[in-house]
Structure 1
Amino acid sequence: MKRSVSAHLELFLHGEADLIFSIAVARGAEVDEALTLTSNGEPVEAHEIIGRHGTRLHRLQAAPGPLVLDYTAEVSGHTATVPTHVLDVIDYLRPSRYCESDTLFATARSEFGGATGHELVDRVVTWVGARVRYVSGASQPTDGAVATLLARAGVCRDFAHLVVALLRALDVPARLASVYAPGLSPMDFHAVAEAYVEGEWHVVDATGLAPRGSMLRIATGQDAAGTAFLSQYGAAVDLRRIAVTAVVDGLPHDDRAQRSAALRADCAQDAKIYPQELVHLVLID
């Protein structure tokens, strides 16, 4: 399986700013890539910082004016599995800024009490997919899981935050991952949740908008605060244009499809909603 991805960002800086980009494929992949940055038409270089779980950040101090970033990467095969540290499991059980698991404790227990393991994760993800509508622009950047539950609408990060918060409230370690997602429509950076079950991390995507087996990890964190594709400090920055591509030459088979389809049917009937493909559990690169 070969995956080709790219990102093009056009920014305008209203003053000198410290920029941190999280757009590169996570460490561990056999990748052929290129990253170019120009500030006011002149080439500039960013310093690479390796974060947790292979997250690669690119940081630079940029002058006022236009700045353009172009990133391309080709990845063949699968990446190495990132070892899980005992602190990962502890950290990803705690409430966080966008995943208020402590607030959702009673809701989670009343809806999913009694289920365990993969069945519990499947039910949470399917429940979220059946009750939250994907509506572009429906949420604010500061909205968390509780706001999504009340509004019953959001974008990919909102789905992921709600899944993560509910799982943590049920004592399942869960985290957020930003990914390139071949097959996503409309194409953009994508956010999914990951659940720690039976000693392994599994990706779960309640939106059902892209095949999980072809996704490429970019960043991993407690929530969107730790996986944003751009962070800026020191000056206002306008995002003038963004274009993301992700294609794959073949999709892997997902052996959980039959079980997930049955769960989707149950939850969709309960919610009087008939969603598209909502949940598969697979490892992602």
Structure 2
Amino acid sequence: MQRVVTAEMDLELGASVALIFSIATAQPVPLSSEILTFTQGDREYTPTEIVDQSGSRLHSLTGEPGPLHVRYRATVDGLAASTRTSDLEAITYLRPSRYSQSDEVFAQARRQFRGLAGHDLITAVSEFVSSSVTYTPGLSLGTDSAVTTLMTGQGVCRDYAHLVIALLRAMDMPARYAACYAPGLEPMDFHAVAEAYHDGAWYVIDATRLSDRRSLVRIATGRDAADCAFLSYHGGYVGLDRLHVDAWVESDAASPDVLVDDPLLRGDRGLVDDHEALVQIA
């Protein structure tokens, strides 16, 4: 059984501009195939790949003025191997960051979740954010933070993730941000979730309740969205004319019975994510 992920971007470059993309699956996601192209008329760019300390794969290039078409497709075959977390990573993900200001929500977190730790804390924070924030596409801004989301009670997936992260850090639990492809997501887009570090492993929290956490495919990992933007640019104008993201699960037609017990499937023939069990991004 496989997962297929795709992303298409049509950009308009107003000048020669440095571009950094984060749309490819992270290391060590196991791939059976992968295609990433950057084309401008008859020209095809060859990007430089940079892998950061978390395994996020960035692709950098300098584009010339005019339309640029970006196409990505990968087939994920199997589950990613878990990686060891260093003491430095754990410390980094305890600190306040640009969009997850754990120091500013410290007092509320300590009142709200007093006495909770471990799995109980993860569950309580996830439930609190899920029930107190309303998913509102188009109303939040790219500069909104966990504090903004807590005050307004509205946002999209990145806002939910930022608030979860801030509250967990305020309770002394390392927490980080993950950008993902999410098969079955509605509405379909790049998706953002939080991860909490508990008992030596990272467990995913999707307070939006929109994804099946067991089918997520990691793109990037960081302190918050500032580390995981799907596109960054420097030195010129970039217009995003079109963005289309898709992800789905493919099964082996020759062995349909495997669907019932496969943990990556959802719906009538598979299992449903209850968002309570401890789950890792696979």
Please indicate, yes or no, whether the TM-score normalized by the shorter chain is above 0.5: yes
Shift of 1:53: 2.0
2:48/2:60 contact within 8 Å kept = yes
| Residue aligning to 1:257 | none
Query: What residue is the counterpart of 2:155 in the other structure?
Result: 154
Q: How far apart are the structure 1 equivalents of 2:138 and 2:264? A: 33
Q: Give CA-to-partner distance per residue, 1:50-80, whole Å, 9 cap, x none.
A: 1122110000011111111000000111011
Shift of 1:236: 1.4
One-letter code of the match for 2:28?
G
- Residue by residue over 1:143-174, the C-alpha shift from the partner in whole angstroms, topping out at 9 and shown as x without a partner, is 10000001100000000000000000000000
Report the Cα offset of residue 83 of structure 1.
1.7
Which residue number in structure 2 is paired with residue 14 of structure 1?
Answer: 14
Do structure 1's residue 61 and structure 2's residue 62 form an aligned pair? yes
Q: Is the 8 A contact 1:36 1:43 kept in 2?
A: yes
C-alpha displacement of 1:17: 0.6
Task: Give 1:83's aligned residue.
Answer: 84
**8 A contact 1:204–1:280 mirrored in 2:** no
Q: What is the Cα-based RMSD across aligned positions, in Å?
A: 1.6
Deviation at 1:279, TM superposition (A): 4.8
Aligned counterpart, 1:111? 112
Letter in 1 for 2:148: A
Matches within 5 A, 1:15-34: 15-31=15-31, 32-34=33-35
What corresponds to 1:71 in structure 2?
A: 72
Provide the secondary structure at the position in 1 that maps to 2:5.
Answer: strand
Asked if structure 2 preserves the Cα contact closer than 8 Å seen for 1:40 and 1:65, the reply is no
Q: Which residue pairs with 1:267 in the alignment?
A: none
Contact 1:46 1:59 in 2 (8 A): yes
Q: Is the 8 A contact 2:29 2:218 kept in 1?
A: no
Identity %: 50
Find the residue that maps to 1:54 and give its secondary structure.
Answer: coil
1:224-246 CA distance string (max 9 Å, x none): 00001000000111110000110
User: Structure 1: how far apart are the matches of 2:173 and 2:6?
Assistant: 33
Q: What's 2:263 paired with?
A: 252
The match for 2:269 is none
- Map 1:1-285 to 2 at 5 A: 1-31=1-31, 32-249=33-250, 252=263, 279-285=276-282
**Unpaired runs of at least 5, structure 2:** 251-258, 266-271
Q: Distance in 1 between matches of 2:245 and 2:239?
A: 18
Report if aligned partners of 2:177, 2:192 keep a CA contact under 8 Å in 1. Answer: yes
Contact 2:215 2:264 in 1 (8 A): no
The ranges of structure 1 where at least 4 consecutive aligned residues each deviate by more than 6 angstroms after the TM superposition are none
Q: Which runs of 5+ in 1 are unaligned?
A: 255-260, 262-275
Cα distance in 2 between the residues matched to 1:222 and 1:179: 15
How far did residue 253 of structure 1 move? 6.9
Distance 2:123 2:203 in 1: 11
Q: CA deviation at 1:103?
A: 0.4
Whether the aligned pair in 2 keeps the contact of 1:52 and 1:220 (CA below 8 Å) is no
- In the alignment of these two chains, the number of paired residues is 265
